[in-house]
């Protein structure tokens, strides 16, 4: 479903209430705005994080823990000091 929104003073656009409710957005929440050619895409921060995590998951084997590797590196550095 598409709705028409008007750009007001200062470049503001009001997100229709039914969309805000559906996405759980409240006053003061941040959204991510991306440009794709002549299209603007709005995402919640939660959705942007989910997409980033999915992208990383495709590049890192499931049995690898990046956090574990980072901790091991830091411990090794601490021992060398």
Give the mean model confidence (pLDDT) for residues 39-43.
92
Angstrom distances, CA of residue 69 to CA of 21, 54, 65, 66, 77: 40, 19, 6, 5, 12
State whether residue 5 is helix, strand or coil: coil
| pLDDT of res. 32 | 94
* Residues 47-75: tens digit of each pLDDT: 999 999 899 889 888 888 889 999 999 99
Predicted local distance difference test score (pLDDT) of residue 37: 96
DSSP string, 16-51: PHHHHHHHT--TT--EEEEEETTEEEEEEHHHHHHH
What is this structure's pTM?
Answer: 0.60
């Amino acid at each position: 479903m598409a709705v028409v929104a008007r750009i007001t003073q200062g470049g503001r656009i009001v997100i229709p209430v039914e969309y805000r409710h559906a996405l759980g957005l409240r006053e003061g929440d941040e959204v991510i705005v991306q440009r794709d050619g002549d299209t603007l895409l709005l995402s919640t921060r939660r959705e942007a994080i989910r997409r980033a995590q999915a992208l990383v998951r495709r590049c890192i084997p499931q049995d690898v823990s990046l956090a574990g590797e980072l901790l091991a590196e830091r411990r090794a550095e601490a021992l060398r000091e």
